């Protein structure tokens, strides 16, 4: 009888995950998905070896992309099927883990994890598969750590690191669990190994940034570590707000930047919460899970900067701790809560997946919620017919006249509308705003090539490679316009 109930509970967890996010199977690709589908490590038959290169920091994730491409090409159904299966797997493993630790809240906690709309970005966005894999292997590590299979847990953690470096704080959660159960002394060697693996992963990421000029992260993020840290208090409080009131999600949120005193106050609240949880985590299960969730947020929301101050998918890994915390804080044993909360979450997640199924809906929502940001406007313009895109971009230009991304997009749209002179003028203006920038040079070259001015176009492509030898588009344009000269700059990776 008990076994049958557990089997039924597992089935409910899987069905919940599929019901909430199954609509993603009818979705397409988005944003960074398109760049991934042009990467030679993914599309070439021998690209699997590049997936495991020294400077490919998410080797296992990229290997799954390579496999996906072998089986499905650019047909999105199988790509989304893999993401959905990984999400259901994470929810199922979390249920198994909670059944051992918190049997009274296991089903409710797993359902919150499976259904909460804050999970939408990680499940509905193919490129976010890294966090799904990372979370699955982190959960398996926690499960085996609980079962006193410490070295197997270390192996799972290694796979998590190879999926996404964001899980480097998982050893801290393992240490917290060991302290909770007073097992630190006999777990010291596997803990040391886990921390060593995390340190090596951090060094590898820094080396990859230095060697490849990786954009939008670390020293190339355009924000200092301290500046990023000061903004993250507000970002984390926004995450908490979305947990409690799951509304106003966005693929590209605009994080307010209030006066320094308010940013300091946000961090004071968070540090106070962490300190209170740290004092009571041995006696109060919710305190342990809240503290674990905050620890899992550290890598993405502290001093290691990223160009995006917030992204909803960063909450996917911490949700393995916050979901059981919510289950413990709500009256989970009351039938009306057990039915009402999952149902509300499921409906909201269905709505989020509907938004993600269309680029136009996705970026229209982002523009509406962040009218001052240029990137959502540019992405929306790519989802609109050219005439509407021109109007949208011209309106954005009046708000941000010095942003080079807008004339770059206007150049692309004018080419689509067969207005080469207007396209060249916009490409030149983008280059004037960012002199010698590789993408701007390549874009002007592309316009010149479309106008059959091949020698001038090739000069721009070569100048783009001088500025960034790893710019794939410039190299492909050179090849298409007559071949790559032997003295062209070579990419070091």
Confidence of residue 2 (pLDDT cuts 50, 70, 90): low
Does position 211 have pLDDT exceeding 90, yes or no? no
Measured CA to CA, the distance from residue 427 to residue 420 in angstroms comes to 10
Cα 377 to Cα 160, 356, 373, 392: the distances in Å are 35, 16, 7, 7
Mean pLDDT (whole number) for 61-72? 97
378 inside domain: no
Q: What is the pLDDT of residues 9-59, one digit of tens each?
A: 999 999 999 999 999 999 999 999 999 998 889 999 999 999 998 888 899
Measured CA to CA, the distance from residue 249 to residue 310 in angstroms comes to 11
If one counts the domains in the chain, the total is 2
375 inside domain: no
Length of the chain: 493
Same domain for 252 and 113? yes
Same domain for 88 and 226? yes
136 inside domain: yes
pTM for the full predicted model: 0.94
Q: What is the pLDDT of residues 244-294, one digit of tens each?
A: 999 999 999 999 888 888 999 999 999 999 999 999 888 888 999 999 999
Query: Given CA atoms 117, 318, 160, 200 in this order, what sign does their dihedral have?
Result: positive
Mean pLDDT (whole number) for 405-409? 94
Residue 454: which CATH number? 1.25.40.10
Does position 430 have pLDDT exceeding 90, yes or no? yes
319 inside domain: yes
Does position 337 have pLDDT exceeding 80, yes or no? no
Confidence of residue 184 (pLDDT cuts 50, 70, 90): confident
Same domain for 258 and 170? yes
Q: What is the pLDDT of residues 386-404, one digit of tens each?
A: 999 999 999 999 889 999 9
376 inside domain: no
Same domain for 424 and 315? no
Q: Which domain range does residue 178 map to?
A: 2-358
């Amino acid at each position: 009888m008990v076994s049958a109930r557990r089997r039924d509970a597992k089935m409910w967890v899987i069905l919940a995950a599929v019901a909430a996010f199954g609509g993603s199977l009818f979705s397409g690709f988005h944003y960074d998905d398109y760049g991934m589908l042009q990467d030679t490590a993914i599309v070439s038959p021998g690209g699997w070896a590049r997936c495991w290169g020294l400077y490919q920091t998410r080797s296992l994730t990229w290997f799954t992309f390579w496999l996906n491409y072998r089986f499905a090409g650019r047909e999105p159904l199988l790509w989304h099927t893999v993401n959905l299966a990984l999400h259901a797997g994470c929810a199922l493993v979390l249920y198994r883990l909670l059944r051992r630790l918190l049997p009274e809240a296991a089903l409710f906690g797993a359902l919150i994890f499976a259904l909460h709309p804050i999970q939408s970005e990680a499940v509905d966005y193919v490129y976010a598969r890294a966090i799904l894999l990372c979370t699955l292997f982190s959960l398996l590590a926690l499960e085996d750590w609980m079962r006193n299979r410490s070295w197997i847990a270390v192996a799972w953690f290694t796979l998590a690191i190879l999926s996404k470096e964001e899980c480097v704080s998982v050893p801290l959660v393992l240490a917290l669990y060991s302290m909770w159960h007073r097992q630190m002394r006999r777990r010291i060697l596997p803990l040391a190994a886990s921390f060593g693996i995390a340190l090596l992963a951090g060094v590898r990421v820094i080396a990859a940034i230095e060697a490849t000029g990786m954009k939008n992260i670390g020293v190339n993020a355009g924000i200092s570590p301290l500046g990023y840290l000061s903004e993250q208090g507000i970002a984390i409080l926004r995450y908490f707000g979305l947990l409690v009131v799951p509304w106003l999600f966005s693929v590209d949120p605009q994080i307010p930047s209030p006066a320094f005193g308010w940013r300091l106050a946000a961090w004071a609240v968070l540090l106070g919460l962490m300190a209170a949880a740290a004092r009571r985590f041995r006696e109060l299960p919710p305190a342990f899970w809240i503290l674990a969730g905050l620890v899992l947020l550290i890598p993405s929301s502290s001093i290691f900067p990223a160009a995006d101050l917030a992204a909803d998918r960063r909450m996917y890994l911490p949700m393995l701790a916050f979901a059981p915390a919510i289950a413990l804080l709500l009256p989970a044993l009351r039938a009306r809560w057990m039915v009402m909360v999952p149902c509300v979450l499921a409906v909201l997640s269905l709505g989020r997946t509907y938004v993600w199924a269309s680029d136009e809906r996705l970026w229209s929502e982002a523009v509406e919620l962040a009218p001052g940001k240029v990137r959502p406007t540019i992405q929306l313009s790519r989802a609109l017919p050219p005439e509407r895109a021109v109007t949208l971009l011209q309106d954005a230009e009046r708000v941000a006249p010095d942003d080079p991304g807008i004339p770059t997009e206007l150049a692309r749209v004018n080419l689509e509308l067969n207005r080469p002179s207007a396209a060249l003028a916009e490409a030149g203006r983008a280059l004037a705003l960012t002199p010698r920038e590789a993408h701007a040079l390549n874009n002007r070259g592309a316009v010149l090539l479309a106008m059959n001015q091949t020698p001038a176009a090739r000069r721009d492509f070569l100048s783009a490679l001088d500025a960034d030898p790893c710019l794939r588009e410039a190299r492909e344009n050179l090849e298409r316009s007559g071949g790559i000269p032997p003295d062209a700059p070579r990419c070091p990776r």
